[in-house]
Structure 1
Amino acid sequence: MRFAEIHMLRRGDTSMKKVLKPGVTIKGTKDGLLFLFDDSRPFSDILNELKHKLDSGGPIWDGPDTRVWIKLGQRQITQQEEAEMRKLFSLRKNLIITSIEADGMPYLADGNTGIRMLTGTVRSGQVLEHRGDLLLMGDVNPGGCVRTTGSLYVLGALRGLAHAGSEGDETAIIAAAQFRPTQLRIADTISRPPDEWDESDVEMKFAYLVNHQIAVDKIHHFSLIRPDKEWKENRMRRW
């Protein structure tokens, strides 16, 4: 075989090798870590690569609490995919997911607007976001934030920031078993509660929007203020 033929074969072999773009790119910022997911790859591949990176990171993942921002690109994921992703991050206790974003669209593909139940504590620095109504079985600590496009129900202590109707729903409410928020937002209206709460007041309360202001009332007054939510009108949908 002549040299020219060998050279052509070698050149051909090189051109056939493609460097696969990383499915998960991690960038450090002054506020934490940015995880960029390649939206051209199957999400199962992304999860496998993410698991590998989190497993092989060694001591770099064992430092102080670090905020994490996740960018999905032009991709939406299902609730099941989100749960699998969060489970991977939970293996590193210091990594706190602050936000999940898709370019120009909600990050959840199913567009769920029904009520969803989650359990756990939203710690300081964490942001929990949900599309639709959310029932949180747990606490929201000072410095924590929960943001929903629908209503928010906290069966625990609400001591952080709560934002309901985040996309403009002025009928959304915020209810909590222990109502001690640092800030309330419903749609575009913001209310700052008193500096100190009466700790002896243990009644469940809810906040709602009236005349472009946020009002707070006892939960047993809810049916009087919002008769459209009364059980008689909704029982067929619940069963």
Structure 2
Amino acid sequence: MESHILLKGTKEGIRCIFPEDEGIMKIEKMCDEVLKESGRIMYDCSLVIDLQGRESGEEEIIAILRNLVWPSGAKNVVWRSYDPKTRKILKTAGFCIEEYPSYKGSRGRGLFIYKSLRSGQKVEHDSDVFIIGNVNDGSEVWASGNIWIWGKLQGVVHAGCQGDEEAHILAKVFESNQVRIGKLYSSIERNSSYWSKSTLIYAQENTLIFKEI
């Protein structure tokens, strides 16, 4: 299947979601295509450049600016990245980066949340995260350690978000379309054998393993 930049309308504006498996030359081409097809709707609006887990260097960021951001005429631009190196480059350059301040806890201690997360809520914590409730569609959880959900997982979760691929994810009821551990990620279909079941997810030989428990 051919990769494209996915455009998604949100309350923040237009989110441009970049694929993670394409090189800089293909990214430049996709930027040109998006501008031709949808450039009008980007003019004078807020733009979120979502790089997902791409490790984007200075050259690639400049290419995105030159081929998409500047020609679009967007009035406000926010960058989003799961990759620590990319976030550091963006911060050093002074770009506005989407932050996740909600539910931040003490460094090194597990964070316990005794409620469900609604759509739009985001959790970031520098250790393990335990949620006694649901992670609903549209919510997100980032943890440098493990993520355990004693409820239904429908949102996006990223365990080992600082690069730890020994972290794992445990969900009592798994119904998420995307999960991440370290730099690894997987998109999941509803017809998967572990959908709606208790599931353990961990990394093995550069691949995410899903195990019904």
Larger C-alpha radius of gyration, 1 or 2? 1
Structure that is richer in helix per residue: 1
Query: When the two structures are superposed, what TM-score results if normalisation uses the length of structure 2?
Result: 0.49
